[in-house]
Each structure stands twice: as C-alpha cells, then as structure tokens.
A and B are shown apart, each in its own frame.
Chain A
Amino acid sequence: MRILGEAVAPVTADFSNDTWWIWLIKAVAIVVFLLTSVLIAIWFERKVVARMQVRPGPNVHGPFGLLQSLADAMKLLVKEDMTVKAADKLVYIVAPMIAVFCSLLTFAVIPFGPNVSMFGVNTPIQLTDFPVAVLYILACASVGVYGIVLGGWSSGSTYPLLGAVRSTAQVISYELAMGLSLVSVFILAGSMSTSQIVTSQTAVWWFLPLLPAFVIYIISMVGETNRLPFDLPEAEGELVSGYMTEYSSMKFAWFFLAEYINMLNVSAVATTLFLGGWRAPWPLSAINDGMFNQGWWPVLWFLAKLWLLMFVFVWIRGSVLRFRYDQFMKIGWKLLIPSALAWVVCVGVVQGVRQFSGLDLRTILFVLAGIVLVGLLISFLIPEKKEPPAPKRPPGPQVYDPYAGGYPVPPLPGQVLPPSPRKQRAAAAAAADAENTTPQVTQEVHGG
C-alpha cells in the first residue's frame, strides 16, 4: 500500500561528495551571513520605517547611515554589564545564550541553491538536510522560547515574569497554527525535507494553490517572532520591556540578536516552503533553458525573496497597532487554528481523491469550483437574518433626565436637556420685567 512513499527519495540534495572542510566552510559562512544580515536588517528596518514616517532615518555614520547598527552594537558591547541581585545567576546567564544558539540552528537546513562546484567539490549550497528537516526547524524554535521564558523568570522581577508568561502562551498558541499551515505543504510535496520541497515547486510555487495556508503562516510567523503588532511579551506601554527588562549590555544584545535572526529564520522558511525557495521567478526561469536556476544564480533569488519578506515585517510594524492581549489570543485560538485545521482537511481530502481515484488535478479543481459555485448560489437563496427592530422613539424632541444614572449624561440624538435653572430664573426675570409678553423657553435639539 504505497501511496506517497513511491519514487520519493528521502532527500533530493546530494551531500555524498562533502568533506569536513566543506562542512566547515558552509557552517562558518552561515554564521557570518546571519550576523551581517542582522546588522543590515536593523539599518533596513530603521530606514524603511523612517521613509514611511517621512523622516530621513539614520544618515550620519557611513554612506546612507549604513554603519549605524555597527555603532549601536559597539555601544552595547561597552555598556556596563549588570547582574540583578535577585536573579537566579546561572539561569540568568544561560537564558540569552539559549535564545541565540537555537536561532542560529535553523539555517543549517535551508537550501540556498542547487549543486555547485565549490573548490572543485560538487556540493549543494546547503549545510545539511534530512527527511524531517522542517520538523527540526520547529523543534529549534520551540527550544528557543526557553531563552525568553527563563530570562523572564530568572530576573526575579515582576514585569519580566509577566512578559515571559505572555510569551509562553503566545508561542504555544501560534506554533500550533504555524505547524498546521505547514502540514498542507507536506501533503502536497510528499516530504518534510527542505530540498525535496523546493524540488516539488518546479511547476508552481505552493503559495498559489495553498494561499490560505500561506496567509496563516505569515500571520503566525509575526506572532512567533514577537514582532509588532504581536509584541506583547515586551510591550513598552505595559511591561517596560518585558522579559529583557533586567538585562543590559551584551546579554541584552544577545536577546536582540536572537530576535532578528528569528525574523530571518521564519522568512527563510516561508521562502523555502511557499515561495519556491531558490527557484527563479517565472519569466526568468524560462530564459535560456533555465539558466537562472543553475550555478550561483539561485542564491540571488533566495536572498531577494528573503528580503521581500523582511520588508513585509517592517511594513506591518510601520502600519499596524499593537493588539490587546485578549484580542491576540482570540485571533490565535478562534480564527487561525480552526481555519488552519479546516484547510488541512480540505487539502487532505483533495489529495486523497487524487491518489485513490486516479482523477487528474484539473477535473478535481473543476468539480471543486462547481461545488463552491453551487454553494454560493444556495447562499443567495437563504433569506438574510432580520435585524432586530430598532427601539421605537417617539417623534419630536424628547426631554430626559440627565441625572437618571447618577451622573450627568449628554443628550443622545433626538433628546433635549430640560431647561437649566439659570435659564428658568432668566425667563422668570424676563416675565417679571414685561408681564404682557409670554416667556419663551428655547430648547436646543441635539443632533436631531
């Protein structure tokens, strides 16, 4: 009963020629790439947000202010390194290390390109790959949360603890939605290895057929990295700066580093699983027999897609306000997870029909479109739910008692205030002055 396992090699990338020094070169290159990318990402974020807010942004150090983040890093390094008295020393020091190390692990399985010749050795531009590479990425992310949680707890202070508890709840609930959105890619690609998933996107990138899963992933990846609008673990207005309140100097810098590397990580995963990985975009991929999908070119496409997603991160940060905590949890549990589950069931059913009935994809898609159309037509026939009738208001202005609830309330549309005591006195005086004219109490009608 072979269904999916048939003719599917566990891993597409061929690492058989790798030697130890190739591994070393790749590993060092990944770390260097991540650290420099973080420096650029900080500059990029500040510059883009500044453009969105119509101001120049960093522009003093180096060309276009490019050296600004280097200066910031130096400043962090030479700041006083404080250890709080109430802190649990060991855990306090280990926590930022856990955060950084776990964030560095993900890129080991991200494919930057196909096989190339590296110093005479034919090897893929990827450190390693195995049949459960994407699960490994999830595992690294879930261990990385320990950095935040322990950092918050070990500080021995209230706000960090609250930030840590929030972050736990946040990551657990958003990782569910994230994992479920990835499952539909696994179903279609028939594998969890990253190189295999990139190979499966030769014809079409998965973000098109799996658009709902892609949207869910984009939302939950913002939640997973604690970025605005979901930066509740470090909300300045409520928690000072959450789990990293009691950290300074290098230890703080490590948390900072981990956050930015995590942004790169989730963007790289989205690129690999939904945006075709290192594959060239459509018109380019057709040029000269796929010239742009060979050699070192794919690195360029991969980086372009990665930074496109980084731009989305900054864009969201520049335009959306922070959510309230309960709203955030409601979105996670009542919207994202159920819709992700429903989508996985849909994809599973379609894939099952394809595998067992032998129908081709076009027929299935036509049938699905028909079902959706019929459903739409039926939904037009269902009478709309009637609005509850509005409470009847007597016509004309209506005098009400502004102190009925115990405190003064301004009039609603259609209501008028009773004449004020002063006006009554004035009217009485006017009446006393000229007895032959009838006093007129003018009433202001608010709103009508």
Chain B
Amino acid sequence: MSALATTLLETGETSTAEAVLFWTLGPIMVLAALSLLFAKKAVHAALSVVVVMISLAFLYVAQDAVFLGVVQVVVYTGAVMMLFLFVLMLVGVDSSDSLVETIRGQRWIGLLAGVGLGVVLVGVVGRATYDKPFGLSGEATDNNPTGVAHIIFGQYVFAFEVVGALLVTAALGALVLTHRQRLTPRAGQRERADARVAAGATLTPLPAPGVYARHNAMDVPALGPDGQPLESSVPRVLRIRGQEADAEEFAARTERVLAGVSQVRGNLPPQAAPEGAAVNAPDLGAALSDTGQNGPSTGPAGVVGQEDGA
C-alpha cells in the first residue's frame, strides 16, 4: 500500500499494483451493481450494495485516502446498510414492488436525474483520462486525518456546522413525527397480571399432556382427578389441527391392564373390566374425589372455557 501511495504521490502514474487492484475490484463492483438491479430478493440486493461499498473503500485506500476509505466502511457499510438490512428483514422480503407512481412525474424526474448523473460522470472520466495527471500535491504529505481536519474545521467550518444543524433538525423531526400521545395508561407487568386474574384465566401453568405406561406423547390428554381427559393439557396447535389422540382409548387400555392384575389377585369381580368398555371413569372419579358429593365435575369443559378466556 505504501509503495503504491508513493508512486501516486511522486508521479501521478498508475503503478502495476494499483492497476491489478483496479482490474480485480472493477469487475466485482460492476457485477455487484448489476445484481443490485436484477436480484430477486431484497436482501441480496442490499448485500450487493455492501460489496460495492467495501470495494470502493479499498480503492479509496489505494488512492491514499485512508481516512475516507475507513469512514466509508464504518458509516455506510456498518451503520446505514445495517439499518437497511434491519428493516428489510423485519418488513419481509416477499413484498413485490408496485408500479404505480406515488409522486406525480416521478419517472420523468428520475430520467432527468439519471441523464444529469451520466453527463457529470462523462465529464469527470473525460477530465481524468485526457488531462495530464499531476499526482497528489503537497497537501497530502500531511498525514491523512489531520489534513482532512484542517480543511473541514478551517476552510469549510461554516458549511460543516450548517450540515450539523440540518442533521440535528432531521433527527428531531423524525422524533416529533413518530411521537404519539399516550391515550391509555401504560400497562406494566403488574397491570397485565391483574388483568389476567380478573379475566379468570388459569393462573398456574396448564396441565402437562398425559403420561401413561406406554404413551407420553404431546397429543395424549392428561386425565383429571375425576378421570376425565383434560383438553387443555394438549398443546393448542395440535387441538386446532385436530391431531389430538383419543383419551378414552388409552384410558381403556390402562383399565384393561389394571383389570388383568386385579383378576389375578382376585380382588375385583370379573365384570368390573369388560373388554373394550368405555371405562368406568366416572366411577373412578367418584371414588377418587374426597367427599363424593360433587360427583364427576365438568372438568374439561370448565378448563377449556378458562383457557379460552385467556
């Protein structure tokens, strides 16, 4: 890099190293710029802009504008393009462009600006090509940031301050435009908890899916103390998709196993476990509930109602 810079400083001629760098970066930049135009995904377009910017920074550094090159990466690549990506990722990249003109005469203005840019570019490139190059003058022998500082804070200090004021105004404007008066009191953690309780939602975590001897899958509902399957124990997504397993079937199997055991022991009469019966779950529930006065409650329905209330 330093050898390259000295060549530029002394003669203004392009050295071999610079030529190699330019002809490597040039095609990359052109390809990236084209892919900005033709990329289908917005994120890919943004990435090609990043490639162009970083390659440009390399060229600036090769031209002995080290400060400009590094600031280009910090400000444009690091901050501005990052915000672009941020928005693209959040908004979603599938939204298609609409061809409706939102500003009247937008296309003509765009065309005019494009032609203007072309003229300026032709002028600049022409001057660079046909004038005799004179290299960097004595200014650049000063080290880079100091030289830039002398120009900005000496020669152009007024313009610099005007730009600063403009930027502050723009930032304030953005704040004012996006500010909204709070019409309702702020709902904090406390308020949301109160609202949940007032709505009668389940305060504890919902019951876990059923765990049986052979099934502990998410789609098997748990049984309540009354022996009824608890709908809310199965994840809501499975319930909506209709992928919930039949609790009765599993309960029946359990019953069969239990009945087999008891038959061996001879504690229960054989008719207590009829094959494939719809299971005496209510009886079980009645036996389990401590008083026996309430009988089998409408547990599942009640819980589902509560959960829907949440």
The answer to the question of A192 belonging to the interface, with a C-beta cut-off of 8 Å to chain B, is yes
The answer to the question of B28 belonging to the interface, with a C-beta cut-off of 8 Å to chain A, is no
Q: Report A137-175 CB contacts with B as 1/0, cut-off 8 Å.
A: 011011101100110010000000100110011001001
Cβ–Cβ contact B89 & A135, under 8 A: no
In angstroms, how far is the closest chain A Cβ from the Cβ of B307? Answer: 17
Using A142-B82, A161-B89, A164-B89 as known contacts, say yes or no to A5 and B146 having CB atoms under 8 A apart. yes
The answer to the question of A237 belonging to the interface, with a C-beta cut-off of 8 Å to chain B, is no
The answer to the question of A207 belonging to the interface, with a C-beta cut-off of 8 Å to chain B, is no
Cβ–Cβ contact B150 & A142, under 8 A: no
Cβ–Cβ contact B79 & A142, under 8 A: yes
Nearest A residue to B198, CB-CB: A406
Cβ–Cβ contact B71 & A135, under 8 A: yes
Q: Which of A96-129 contact B (CB under 8 A)?
A: none
Query: In the docked arrangement, what's the CA distance between A110 and B43, Å?
Result: 34
Q: Report B81-111 CB contacts with A as 1/0, cut-off 8 Å.
A: 0110110011000000000000000000000
Cβ–Cβ contact B77 & A168, under 8 A: no
Cβ–Cβ contact A91 & B89, under 8 A: no
Using A91-B43, A91-B47, A161-B89 as known contacts, say yes or no to A132 and B197 having CB atoms under 8 A apart. no
Cβ–Cβ contact A165 & B82, under 8 A: no
Q: Which of A3-37 contact B (CB under 8 A)?
A: 4-5, 8-11, 15
Q: Which of B1-50 contact A (CB under 8 A)?
A: 1-2, 41, 43-44, 47, 50
The answer to the question of B281 belonging to the interface, with a C-beta cut-off of 8 Å to chain A, is no
Cβ–Cβ contact A139 & B78, under 8 A: yes
Using A131-B144, A168-B85, A407-B197 as known contacts, say yes or no to A146 and B79 having CB atoms under 8 A apart. no
Cβ–Cβ contact A142 & B43, under 8 A: no
In angstroms, how far is the closest chain B Cβ from the Cβ of A428? Answer: 23
Contacts of A407 in B (CB 8 A): 197-198
Query: In the docked arrangement, what's the CA distance between A143 and B54, Å?
Result: 9
Q: Report B59-73 CB contacts with A as 1/0, cut-off 8 Å.
A: 000000011001101
Cβ–Cβ contact B74 & A135, under 8 A: yes
Cβ–Cβ contact A165 & B47, under 8 A: no
Using A5-B143, A149-B85, A165-B89 as known contacts, say yes or no to A135 and B70 having CB atoms under 8 A apart. yes
Nearest B residue to A90, CB-CB: B44
Query: In the docked arrangement, what's the CA distance between A254 and B66, Å?
Result: 30
In angstroms, how far is the closest chain A Cβ from the Cβ of B189? Answer: 11
Cross-chain contact of B70 among A10, A132, A161 (Cβ < 8 A) = A132
Contacts of B198 in A (CB 8 A): 405-407
Contacts of A146 in B (CB 8 A): 50, 82
The answer to the question of A1 belonging to the interface, with a C-beta cut-off of 8 Å to chain B, is yes
Contacts of A1 in B (CB 8 A): 150, 154
Cβ–Cβ contact B89 & A143, under 8 A: no
Using A5-B146, A5-B150, A143-B54 as known contacts, say yes or no to A168 and B66 having CB atoms under 8 A apart. no
In angstroms, how far is the closest chain A Cβ from the Cβ of B167? Answer: 15
Question: What's the dominant secondary structure at chain A's contact region?
Answer: helix
In angstroms, how far is the closest chain B Cβ from the Cβ of A186? Answer: 9
The answer to the question of A88 belonging to the interface, with a C-beta cut-off of 8 Å to chain B, is yes
Query: In the docked arrangement, what's the CA distance between A383 and B83, Å?
Result: 47
Contacts of B194 in A (CB 8 A): 405
Contacts of A143 in B (CB 8 A): 54, 73, 77-78
Query: In the docked arrangement, what's the CA distance between A164 and B77, Å?
Result: 17
Please tell me the size bucket of the interface on B: 35 or more
Contacts of B85 in A (CB 8 A): 149, 153, 168
Contacts of A132 in B (CB 8 A): 66-67, 70, 144-145
Contacts of A169 in B (CB 8 A): 86
In angstroms, how far is the closest chain B Cβ from the Cβ of A281? Answer: 31
Contacts of B41 in A (CB 8 A): 88
Cross-chain contact of A145 among B44, B57, B78, B146 (Cβ < 8 A) = B78
Contacts of B308 in A (CB 8 A): none
The answer to the question of B290 belonging to the interface, with a C-beta cut-off of 8 Å to chain A, is no
Query: In the docked arrangement, what's the CA distance between A169 and B82, Å?
Result: 9
Contacts of A142 in B (CB 8 A): 73-74, 77-79, 82
Query: In the docked arrangement, what's the CA distance between A10 and B43, Å?
Result: 40
Query: In the docked arrangement, what's the CA distance between A20 and B78, Å?
Result: 31
Contacts of B67 in A (CB 8 A): 131-132, 135
Contacts of A161 in B (CB 8 A): 89
The answer to the question of A136 belonging to the interface, with a C-beta cut-off of 8 Å to chain B, is yes
Cβ–Cβ contact A153 & B89, under 8 A: yes
Query: In the docked arrangement, what's the CA distance between A15 and B6, Å?
Result: 14
Contacts of B89 in A (CB 8 A): 149, 153, 161, 164-165
Cβ–Cβ contact B74 & A139, under 8 A: yes
Query: In the docked arrangement, what's the CA distance between A5 and B146, Å?
Result: 6
Nearest B residue to A176, CB-CB: B79
In angstroms, how far is the closest chain B Cβ from the Cβ of A193? Answer: 8
Cβ–Cβ contact A406 & B82, under 8 A: no
Using A10-B143, A132-B145, A192-B145 as known contacts, say yes or no to A145 and B82 having CB atoms under 8 A apart. yes
Query: In the docked arrangement, what's the CA distance between A407 and B149, Å?
Result: 68
Interface centre among B57, B144, B146 (most CB of A within 10 A): B146
The answer to the question of A343 belonging to the interface, with a C-beta cut-off of 8 Å to chain B, is no
Nearest A residue to B89, CB-CB: A153
Query: In the docked arrangement, what's the CA distance between A139 and B72, Å?
Result: 9
Q: A91-B43, A149-B86, A153-B89 are in contact. List 10 more A-B contacts (CB 8 A).
A: A8-B146, A132-B144, A132-B145, A135-B71, A135-B74, A136-B70, A139-B73, A149-B85, A150-B47, A406-B198
In the complex, 7 of the A-B residue pairs with CB atoms within 8 angstroms, ordered by the A residue number, are A5-B142, A15-B2, A132-B66, A145-B82, A165-B86, A172-B79, A172-B82
**6 pairs of A and B residues whose beta carbons are closest in the complex:** A142-B78, A10-B143, A139-B73, A5-B146, A135-B70, A131-B143
